[in-house]
Amino acid sequence: MAGGNDTRLKYLTNLAAVRNATLHAGIPMWNYFGAGAYVHKGQTHIDSTEAELRWQMSASIAFGARGLLWFFFTPEVHKIAEDGPAWPGLVRDDGAADHVTEHWYQARRLNSAVLALAPTLMQLRSTAALVLRQSDTKWDDEGHPVLRAAGCGLVNISRGDFIVGCFVRSEPATGARWTRAVVVANFDHADTQWPTVAFDSPDTLEVNSRTGLEGPLVDEVAGLPGMQLGLLAGGRRLLLLR
């Protein structure tokens, strides 16, 4: 995604293919993210920004991934860079006292938010993964028909660029406060978005990305009609519904 080469739609097409294959096989879906730049077979792989890495994690979660991995850890992997230079991944091997790189701190920040959601995410089964584009002519006054047809509880979202993952609770739980879940992710990895959203359940909950605790979804922009949902650049929110 870096260096002016926007491959987000191709990335999501690949995620959809992997999602479909893993659901058909009944196995969990994993994905990995590139933290480090190198040249291989004449092609330059440019470092992703922290927001771009967050976007890859958010997209993977929305498409139902159960495992998120990092590539690469040490410069030993630079052996793949047969015909050009390579730069450190997460860990340095030059003997420095502080042997980690800035990518390590990025990974720690990004991982902490995912780990808070993990206990809930591991209870979910993916039912749909949608990519909504602002330029799509299918938008109408009630939102997007594909979103309504998915039946995942998010019935409307203001026109924009989003990734939506729809889930159900994989195992029934007696007295559970929720049976469905929605991941709403920002398709934009450069800017924050504040969409207006509507749900078919009056008691929508959110999993806090810092504590992992469930709590009522709160309108983040007072004074505007409807429920406003803040999405960081490349970020996502995990919402729970009855």
Q: Mind listing the pLDDT tens digit of every residue in the chain (242 residues)?
A: 545 578 999 999 999 999 999 999 999 999 988 777 766 677 777 788 899 999 999 999 999 999 999 987 765 545 554 555 566 778 876 666 678 888 889 999 999 999 999 999 999 999 999 999 999 888 887 778 888 888 889 999 999 999 999 999 998 778 789 999 999 999 999 999 999 999 998 899 999 999 999 999 999 988 889 999 999 999 999 999 98
Residues 116-154 as b or e (16 or more Cβ within 10 Å = b): bbeebbebbebbbbbbbeeeeeebeeebbeebeebebbb
CA-based R_g, the chain, Å: 19
Q: What count of residues does the chain have?
A: 242
Residues 72-102 as b or e (16 or more Cβ within 10 Å = b): bbebeebeebeeeebebbbeeeeeeeeeebe
Question: Which residues does 131 contact at the CB level (< 8 Å), separation at least 6?
Answer: 9, 12, 162, 163, 164, 187
Is the Cβ–Cβ distance between 236 and 61 less than 8 Å? yes
63 upstream amide cis, omega within 30 of 0: no
So what's the pLDDT on residue 5? Answer: 72
The dihedral sign for the CA sequence 188, 190, 196, 201: positive
| DSSP SS3 for 227 | strand
So what's the pLDDT on residue 6? Answer: 87
So what's the pLDDT on residue 15? Answer: 97
> Using CA atoms, how far apart are residues 133 and 162, in angstroms rounded to an integer?
7
Instruction: List Cα–Cα distances, 25 to 22, 60, 61, 122, 124, in angstroms.
Output: 5, 18, 19, 18, 17
> Using CA atoms, how far apart are residues 78 and 129, in angstroms rounded to an integer?
35
So what's the pLDDT on residue 31? Answer: 95
The structure's pTM equals: 0.90
> Using CA atoms, how far apart are residues 92 and 73, in angstroms rounded to an integer?
8
The span from the first CA to the last CA of the chain, in angstroms, equals 37
So what's the pLDDT on residue 86? Answer: 61
